[in-house]
Amino acid sequence: MRNASLVLIAVGIFVAISVLVVAADPPPPGVDQHGESTLAPGQQKTPSAEKGKQLRSVVGIVTAKDTDRFTVTTKQGVTVVVGVLESTRFHIPTQKNATFADLEIQDRVAVNGTPNASGLDAKKVNIAPGKPSVQHRVGTVEEYVPSQSITIKTVQGDLEKFALTNETEIRGKTSPAQGDRVTVVSHRDPSTRVFTASAIVVHP
């Protein structure tokens, strides 16, 4: 009887310790404590990603920022902590040489990087601008200098001048003439702040 009791006590202690050890093990990246995936649909889970070296990615809104990391929350409500390294590159279409300092809470970002214990270390971060860097302007041609510039009077009544390059695409006519109604597709060079036309559509 006494021996049986001792055996039962030993079994009980073993079970209790086993449970504590299992509970103390952290879940692997991409899996929560319930064994379910924490990867959002925007993330691609691949077998090699589970090996810990394949690039992973996340898209969402920046909901927190610290000195060397930030948190991204996806549409599905999943949060991922993104570590920022010296090698991490930031890209904003409207800004030249973007850095981590340009990242703000509520920015919409796409990130790819390498999985780590708490999320991923960022390789590249694309920050979506609040409005596009490309703009369309409609107006009548005031002056056109091939490969140099075009000046139009917009439908709002403003005079706007755009730089041209040899790559500027022109559709509708071989070259615009004064009085033609055109749409100028342009983007602002972040460094020079000059609007350069990438395309001109001459309307009939």
Q: How many CB atoms lie within 10 A of CB 72?
A: 26
Q: Which of residues 48-67 bind other proteins (CB under 8 A)?
A: 55, 57, 59-61, 63-66
Q: Say how far apart CA 113 and CA 69 lie, in whole Å.
A: 13
Q: Which of residues 176-195 bind other proteins (CB under 8 A)?
A: 181, 183, 185-187
Does residue 128 belong to the site contacting other proteins (CB under 8 A)? yes
- The CB-of-178 to other proteins minimum distance in angstroms stands at 19
Does residue 162 belong to the site contacting other proteins (CB under 8 A)? no
Given candidates 16, 159, 177, 194, which one binds other proteins under the rule CB under 8 A? Answer: 16
- Continuous segment of H or E residues that includes residue 81: strand 79-83
- The CB-of-40 to other proteins minimum distance in angstroms stands at 9
Does residue 88 belong to the site contacting other proteins (CB under 8 A)? no
Contacts (Cβ under 8 Å, ≥6 apart) of 200: 150, 168, 169, 170, 171, 176, 182, 183, 184, 185
Contacts (Cβ under 8 Å, ≥6 apart) of 30: 37, 38, 39, 45, 49, 50, 56, 115
Q: How many CB atoms lie within 10 A of CB 9?
A: 10
Q: Are 37 and 45 in contact (CB under 8 A)?
A: yes
Q: 177 in helix, strand or coil?
A: coil
Our CB check for other proteins shows the closer of 57 and 144 to be 57
Q: Which of residues 93-122 bind other proteins (CB under 8 A)?
A: 93, 104-112, 117-119
Does residue 145 belong to the site contacting other proteins (CB under 8 A)? no
Given candidates 85, 124, 151, 173, which one binds other proteins under the rule CB under 8 A? Answer: 124
Our CB check for other proteins shows the closer of 154 and 178 to be 154
- The CB-of-175 to other proteins minimum distance in angstroms stands at 16
Does residue 173 belong to the site contacting other proteins (CB under 8 A)? no
Q: Say how far apart CA 63 and CA 73 lie, in whole Å.
A: 6
Does residue 129 belong to the site contacting other proteins (CB under 8 A)? yes
Given candidates 88, 121, 137, 164, which one binds other proteins under the rule CB under 8 A? Answer: 137
Q: Are 138 and 154 in contact (CB under 8 A)?
A: yes
- How many residues touch other proteins under the rule CB under 8 A: the total is 89
